[in-house]
């Protein structure tokens, strides 16, 4: 977050706390919509409403699109009929697609009725695709020419306003089917009468509108261009995927994985109502409680051992911690590999062998270190041997679990980032405690 936005946040909150001491900023004209959205999401509800009143009306739609859905809806709930009418007075298809889920159905219908035939057609096309499909979010601002056009026609088109991320012209036949792309760079120096079909970029392949956004981003990254054409099943050009959309999808996927690791939704409002936030988080706290009881049950099996050898109780957290860290390292590696499509049935076994080897090597190394420390600390070589063996067993189990758990969850259509860490922690805790206390029972009593 820029220093300028941080200053706005401080100023807004101080004004809310003491209206006589701190004036509100005059305007947000110098900020981009994404920056204003971030600022609004960073404010408590009352300060957010005050800040929203300072956003110029003509920027409302762009700012709302840039906001997370829950924070956006907190503002839209405050809109009266006049404000909603003003918001929908001049929306294009792409903006309405982004806002449609947050607006009442009758408001969406009003916005559609105000669009021209072209924009309404674009909206209906986009709305026909699922939320995770590329076709829903295509950009319709692109340079299109008939496939029989010549260089002079292209140069005439370029004299008009050129959309962002435009380095190609797209050619279509009479039915609207995509026939090829011409790099704008190749137009300069070409003869005015030369057909554009002689300048086609053979390496540029269109994207299918049915592609999942994640897969489309992977193909886009390989293409290394500013935009790619998007076609439907009939081969008709629907629009383009630009770098802006690719960056947004990658950022949202990263944020979704980060939030999912804590059992949260990436759209959750930072200042959502307390009861709503509490209800969402209670589920995962309950799941964690069940896993904690399972680990406690495993410890309870060795109650007699702990009463006789108190040193084991002191050292138990070391065993659990080492297994948890080792497992989380492997789990993170696997989740990234699955996200990038690097993990397949063909390479799971080699990867498992590699991780077990890494776990075994680190297990032996740290078992020696921790065993020596424990032996000196408690003046008992037997205790050092017990914790050393337990460390080796638990780190090996952590490596095994870190590979297999995300693969199995992926097969079951469960997001590994959402529940993988909870399962892994349970496995390493239970295995670590049983191994440590079991060995203690066998070797020390």
Dump pLDDT digits (tens) for 286-312.
Answer: 777 788 888 888 888 888 888 778 888
| CA 391 from centre of chain | 35
The DSSP 8-state label assigned to residue 150 in this structure reads: B
* Cα gap 416→422, rounded to integer Å: 10
Token pair belonging to 247: 């960056």
What pLDDT shows up at residue 23?
Answer: 45
Domain end, chosen from 260, 286, 313, is at 260
Shared domain for 291 and 429, answered yes or no, is yes
Residue 169 lies in a domain: yes
Pick the closest to residue 14 from 24, 2, 3, 27 (CA basis): 24
Given a contact cutoff of 8 angstroms between Cβ atoms, the answer to whether 169 and 240 are in contact is no
Shared domain for 90 and 220, answered yes or no, is no
What pLDDT shows up at residue 260?
Answer: 62
What pLDDT shows up at residue 112?
Answer: 92
Shared domain for 97 and 185, answered yes or no, is no
Given a contact cutoff of 8 angstroms between Cβ atoms, the answer to whether 180 and 171 are in contact is yes
What pLDDT shows up at residue 16?
Answer: 63
The DSSP 8-state label assigned to residue 197 in this structure reads: G
Shared domain for 96 and 123, answered yes or no, is yes
What pLDDT shows up at residue 152?
Answer: 94
Residue 138 lies in a domain: no
Low-confidence ranges of the chain (pLDDT < 70): 1-5, 15-28, 256-270, 272, 277, 280-281, 284-285, 340
Tell me phi and psi for residue 242, to 5 degrees. Answer: -100, 170
pTM above 0.85, yes or no: no
* Cα gap 242→167, rounded to integer Å: 11
Shared domain for 189 and 228, answered yes or no, is yes
Shared domain for 281 and 399, answered yes or no, is yes
Shared domain for 250 and 367, answered yes or no, is no
Domain end, chosen from 103, 130, 157, is at 130
Pick the closest to residue 89 from 105, 112, 63 (CA basis): 112
* Cα gap 84→105, rounded to integer Å: 12
* Cα gap 77→79, rounded to integer Å: 6
The partner residues of 150 in beta bridges, in order of sequence, read 195
Domain end, chosen from 235, 260, 285, is at 260
CATH code of 231's domain: 3.10.580.10
Environment class of 163 (CB within 10 Å of its CB; exposed 0-12, middle 13-18, buried 19+): middle
- Could you tell me the residue range of the domain that residue 167 belongs to? 144-260
Exposure string (b/e) for 104-116, b if CB count within 10 Å is 16 or more?
A: eeebbebbbeebe
What pLDDT shows up at residue 259?
Answer: 64
Residue 135 lies in a domain: no
CATH code of 23's domain: 1.25.60
Contact residues for 157 (Cβ-Cβ < 8 A; gap 6+): 143, 145, 169
What pLDDT shows up at residue 171?
Answer: 95
Q: In total, how many domains does the chain have?
A: 3
Residue 268 lies in a domain: no
* Cα gap 263→73, rounded to integer Å: 21
Shared domain for 156 and 254, answered yes or no, is yes
Kind and range of the H or E run holding 229: strand 227-231
């Amino acid at each position: 977050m820029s220093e300028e936005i941080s200053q706005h946040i401080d100023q807004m909150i101080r004004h809310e706390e003491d209206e006589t001491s701190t004036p509100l900023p005059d305007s947000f004209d110098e900020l981009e919509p994404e920056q204003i959205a971030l600022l609004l999401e960073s404010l408590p509800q009352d300060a957010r409403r005050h800040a929203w009143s300072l956003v110029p009306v003509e920027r409302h739609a762009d700012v709302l699109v840039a906001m997370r859905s829950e924070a956006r809806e907190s503002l839209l709930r405050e809109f009266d009929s006049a404000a909603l009418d003003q918001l929908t007075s001049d929306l294009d298809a792409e903006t309405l697609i982004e806002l449609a889920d947050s607006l009442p159905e009758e408001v969406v219908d009003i916005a559609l009725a105000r669009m021209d035939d072209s924009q309404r057609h674009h909206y209906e096309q986009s709305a026909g695709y699922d939320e995770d499909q590329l076709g829903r979010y295509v950009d319709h601002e692109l340079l299109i020419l008939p496939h029989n056009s010549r260089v002079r026609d292209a140069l005439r088109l370029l004299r008009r306003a050129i959309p962002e991320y435009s380095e190609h012209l797209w050619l279509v036949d009479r039915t609207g089917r995509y026939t090829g792309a011409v790099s704008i760079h190749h137009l300069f120096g070409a003869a005015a009468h030369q057909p554009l079909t002689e300048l086609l970029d053979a390496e540029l392949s269109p994207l299918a509108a049915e592609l999942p956004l994640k897969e489309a981003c992977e193909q886009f990254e390989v293409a290394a261009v500013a935009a790619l054409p998007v076609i439907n099943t009939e081969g008709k050009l629907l629009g383009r995927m630009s770098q802006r959309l690719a960056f947004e999808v990658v950022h949202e996927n990263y944020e979704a994985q980060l939030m999912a690791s804590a059992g949260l939704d990436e759209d959750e409002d930072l200042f959502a109502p307390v009861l709503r936030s509490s209800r969402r988080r209670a589920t995962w706290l309950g799941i964690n409680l069940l896993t904690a009881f399972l680990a406690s049950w495993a410890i309870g099996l060795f109650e007699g051992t702990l009463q006789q050898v108190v040193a084991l109780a002191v050292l138990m957290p070391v065993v659990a911690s080492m297994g948890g860290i080792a497992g989380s390292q492997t789990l993170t590696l696997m989740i990234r590999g699955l996200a990038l499509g690097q993990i397949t049935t063909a390479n799971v076994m080699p990867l498992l062998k590699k991780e077990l080897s890494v776990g075994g090597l680190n297990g032996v190394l740290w078992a020696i270190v921790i065993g020596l420390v424990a032996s000196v600390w408690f003046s008992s070589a037997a205790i050092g041997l017990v914790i050393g063996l337990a460390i080796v067993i638990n780190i090996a189990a952590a490596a095994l679990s870190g590979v297999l758990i995300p693969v199995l969850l992926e097969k079951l259509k469960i997001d590994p980032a959402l529940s993988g860490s909870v399962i892994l922690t349970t496995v390493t805790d239970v295995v670590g405690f049983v191994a440590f206390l079991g060995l203690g029972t066998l070797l020390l009593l």
